[in-house]
Amino acid sequence: MELTEKRQRWKKINALTPQKLELARRLLERIRAGEDVMELIRHHPLEGGGYLNKAALVAAYEEMLKTGKIEPDTALLEKIRMKPMRTLSGVTTVTVLTKPYPCPGKCIFCPTDVRMPKSYLPDEPGAMRALEHQFDPYTQVESRIRALKNLGHPTDKIELLILGGTWSSYRRDYQEWFVARCFEAMNALTPTPLPLGEGQVGEGELKKIHSLNETAPHRNVGLVIETRPDEITPDEIRWLRHLGVTKVQMGAQSFDDRILELNKRGHDVECTRNATALLRAAGFKIVLHWMPNLLGANLESDREDFARMWQDFCPDEIKIYPNQLLANAELYEYWQRGEFHPYTTEELVDLLADIKPAIPRYCRVNRVIRDIPSTNVVEGNKRTSLRQDVHEEMKRRGAHCQCVRCREVKGKPVALSSLRLDDLVYQAGKAEEHFISFNTEDDRLAGFIRLSLPSKDSPDTGMADLRGAALIREVHVYGQSLPVGAEKSGAAQHAGLGSRLLEEAEKTALMRGFSRLAVISAVGTRQYYLERGFERGEYYLVKEIR
């Protein structure tokens, strides 16, 4: 069955009929009275088989809200929201894919499918949605926001994640058009083409669209692209800031030149080091991809390689993507000749359980496995629930991970009076980094700010906004992503922690001899910083401090 047919069938099965809506209303009243959501659903099967899903409960809630049958009830919405973890880190992520396009890389582990951008498969969840929308940026964003709202998630603060091979290899007119259309969807404008169509945006058009987003219904609080280390130059980072990019994902893959050469990566470790330093000097948040089980590596060399990541590179976030043997990658031929052997699931779990406790407290582990359906994997690990397996193994060993993701307070109430302020200082290349955070008594992370203090040896970005400035690369306060201006008892996001973190960063920068602060603000967070004394520069918001 074709992928689009599968999705259409799924939509038909889950269509909200009047009968389902009526049942959802009745169950909602009982949930409000204190009954358990899942117990009620299980005890009320649908005629013809199956059960009511949470989306139906959310739809009933929205309908009853509009008709005045109930008052806004945050606690009730939390109970019926599907996959609440999606927005417990404080923002709502929307992922889109660019169209298929040639990639400069020749990596032997990378799958190739003519229907998809390089390295992606058409049956990965996000890729499947993109294919259904024919890679149209507007409809991808609009449909995803609508789906998240239907599942009960707030959508006023959107982190836009643009995937699809190497972003920097696409024509710049296509990049600008793609970003503009994504922003138009967040701005809730009518889905009409831009004046000059795909790949062409009128002069100043993107700037106007960005300005609208500063007060739009779905504000962009982060824009993420993925590219290769050998694409990062001062000219490229200036272009990325023109587009509104705040976070860059790069495939480091390995920190061993021999391994990179064997796998035909096309760049060396020094290239990754220089790219990371330049991005840091420009204030970007840095995400590195690391791949164990590459051709030529073994379990012991992977352990040694992972340790190198925290010498010089020091990414803010990482994605661990164990190499997976796929039939449509060149690596498959090596395997057929007996030159490559995938790790077993047990070996992989053991490796990750060994290295995960060593991850520094300033870094967030976004993934430990690609979301590739097991049917595509020829040999080796086929489990996509690897994170859970690794955590269970660590628990058995009595080991703990201290990464950002493992310590987030998520939806738990925060006792403000008990929060502890910490300043973790570390050297990252030529910059002195400060990870200033508020932590609970049980060491949960309520919020943090990343302050970077460049040295005289830091790379020159060539951007006037950054001359002599200390850099605020990220401000993040945790808890369920709430609508702007909403209040929630004990929620870290609405306790003024962001302002307090900014004050601490300013004091630290002053003590280190800086007289200016520059922040790499996302388009939708500009107003937040402007209200706190920052002024508009060319690509950054800046503030004189004394």
DSSP string for 53-103: -HHHHHHHHHHHHHTTSS---HHHHHHH-SSGGGGTTSSEEEEEEPPP---
> Which tokens is 15 given?
């269509």
Nearest to 248 by CA among 278, 227, 277: 227
The reported pLDDT for the residue numbered 302 is: 98
pLDDT in tens, 375-392: 899 999 999 889 999 999
Within 13 Å and on the Cβ side, how many CA atoms surround 141? 28
Whole-angstrom Cα distance, residue 481 to residue 477?
10
User: Which residues, at least 6 apart from 371, have a Cβ–Cβ distance to it below 8 Å?
Assistant: 124, 125, 126, 384
Averaged pLDDT, 60-73: 76
With pLDDT > 90 as the criterion, what percentage of the chain qualifies? Answer: 66
Q: Cα separation of 324 and 368, whole Å?
A: 12
Within 231-310, residue ranges assigned H as helices are: 234-243, 257-262, 269-281, 299-308
pLDDT of 196 over the 70 cut: no
Residue predicted with more confidence, 77 or 213: 213
- What are the tens digits of pLDDT across the range 31-48? 777 777 777 777 777 776
Specify the 3-state DSSP secondary structure of 518.
strand
Distance CA 68, CA 301 (A): 63
- The Cα–Cα gap between 530 and 520 comes to 13
Instruction: Name the 3-class secondary structure at 498.
Output: helix
Q: Could you give the residue ranges of the DSSP H alpha helices within 398-490?
A: 404-407
Higher-pLDDT residue of 4, 59:
59
What is the per-residue pLDDT for 471? 98
Q: Whole-number mean pLDDT of the chain?
A: 88
How far apart CA 179 and CA 244 sit, in angstroms, is 9
Quote the CA–CA distance of 386 and 381 in Å, as a whole number. Answer: 9
Return the CATH number of the domain spanning residue range 416-544. 3.40.630.30
Strand partners, 91: none
Structural tokens at position 62: 């929205």
Every domain range in the chain assigned CATH 3.40.630.30: 416-544
Mean pLDDT of 406-432: 91
DSSP string, 227-240: E-GGG--HHHHHHH
Radius of gyration of the chain (CA): 24
Largest Cα–Cα separation, the chain: 71
- pLDDT for 42 equals 75
For 433-451, what is the mean pLDDT?
Answer: 96
Long-range contacts, stretch 343-348, CB < 8 angstroms, 24+ apart: 343/292, 343/293, 343/299, 343/380, 343/381, 344/380, 344/381, 345/380, 345/381, 345/382, 345/383, 345/386, 345/389, 347/299, 348/292, 348/293, 348/322, 348/380, 348/381, 348/386
Q: Tell me how far apart the alpha carbons of residues 286 and 354 are, in angstroms, rounded to a whole number.
A: 24
Q: Which has the minimum average pLDDT: 57-61, 101-105, 132-136, 269-273?
A: 57-61
Specify whether domain 249-407 bears CATH 3.30.750.200.
yes
In the chain, residues under CATH classification 3.30.750.200 are 249-407
Strands 247-253 and 285-290: parallel
Using the predicted structure, report yes or no on whether residue 489 has a pLDDT greater than 50.
Answer: no
pLDDT at 35: 76
DSSP per-residue string spanning 328-373: TSTHHHHHHTT---PPPHHHHHHHHHHHGGGS-TT-EEEESS----
pLDDT recorded at residue 12: 46
Q: Identify the pLDDT of residue 67.
A: 80
Lowest mean pLDDT across 10-14, 332-336, 410-414, 513-517: 10-14
Q: Are 182 and 138 in contact (CB under 8 A)?
A: yes
What does the block give as tokens for 12? Answer: 């038909």
Between residues 189 and 457, the one the model is more confident about: 457
- Asked if residue 418 has pLDDT above 70, the reply is yes
pLDDT value, residue 480: 43
274-293: average pLDDT: 98
Please enumerate in sequence order all residues whose Cβ is within 8 A of that of 76, keeping only pairs 6 or more positions apart, or say none: 28, 31, 32, 61, 70
**463 C-beta neighbours (distance < 10 Å), count:** 20
Q: What is the pLDDT of residues 317-354, one digit of tens each?
A: 999 999 999 999 999 999 999 999 999 999 999 999 99
Angstrom distance (rounded) from CA 479 to CA 494: 9
Q: Can you give the pLDDT at residue 311?
A: 92
**pTM (2 decimals)?**
0.85
Asked if 327 and 112 touch (Cβ cutoff 8 Å), the reply is no
Q: What 3-state DSSP class applies to 260?
A: helix
